Amino acid sequence: DTGVSQNPRHKITKRGQNVTFRCDPISEHNRLYWYRQTLGQGPEFLTYFQNEAQLEKSRLLSDRFSAERPKGSFSTLEIQRTEQGDSAMYLCASSLGAGEDGYTFGSGTRLTVV
Amino acid sequence: GQQLNQSPQSMFIQEGEDVSMNCTSSSIFNTWLWYKQDPGEGPVLLIALYKAGELTSNGRLTAQFGITRKDSFLNISASIPSDVGIYFCAGQRVERGSSNTGKLIFGQGTTLQVKP
């Protein structure tokens, strides 16, 4: 297992376009998390899944954002009608259980909205 | 928004020096974690702390979970050039009567630069 994989690594898009990111967690991990990190800040929680169920969403996750985890495996994060303020690093992480031992992060997808 | 106050924001030190950084919160946490992030990569876990007063080492790194459960510190001894990066503290809190979501709250990070 090569860890948590995120694609693409970088995405440049024009304002108003839709984008979708993919995360492949560590295979035996039942929990998957999405975080957003802006320059000079720590990651901020967006949402998490336990298996295929989305159990919590941050108020940072506006109605333009949607996340799915079909069949409890990989997950996608879609942003519709992107805005310049959406420019950030989007990090995915996975854990077995509640991640008290700290979960494993992917390398992230860097989104730039121009 | 962020609830953890991490300091200092940045440090520029000479190779071989010891480093200390800390993290404080207005809220109690059940678990404290320290991560390191290299440019363009995700955070990598360094140390996890589970009990108030706990002192844990990982090689040249030592971290402590504060007695009040509202703070933690990380020390790096005898720094080397590969210690360069951004160090984040993160806390996990479980509300009484609730299940553990696993959600982490991160500090703003301490940027460490090491001069050879």
What is the mean pLDDT of the segment spanning B53-62?
96
For Cα atoms B37, B42, B45, give the angle at the middle one, nearest 5 degrees: 65
CA distance A13 to chain B (A): 19
pLDDT at position A1 is 54
Q: For residue A103, which residues of chain B lie inside 8 Å, CB to CB?
A: 45, 102
Q: Per-residue pLDDT for B97 more than 70?
A: no
Mean pLDDT over B60-84 rounds to 96
Distance separating alpha carbons of residues B66 and A93, to the nearest angstrom: 26
Strand A65-68 relative to strand A44-50, pairing? unpaired
Sheet holding A75-79, edge to edge: A5-7, A19-24, A75-79, A65-68
In chain B, what residues touch A101 (CB-CB under 8 Å)?
45, 48
Whether B100 contacts chain A with CB within 8 A: yes
Q: What is the mean pLDDT of residues B19-25?
A: 97
The per-residue pLDDT for B96 is 66
Cα–Cα separations (whole angstroms), residue A94 to A5, A39, A113 = 10, 23, 26
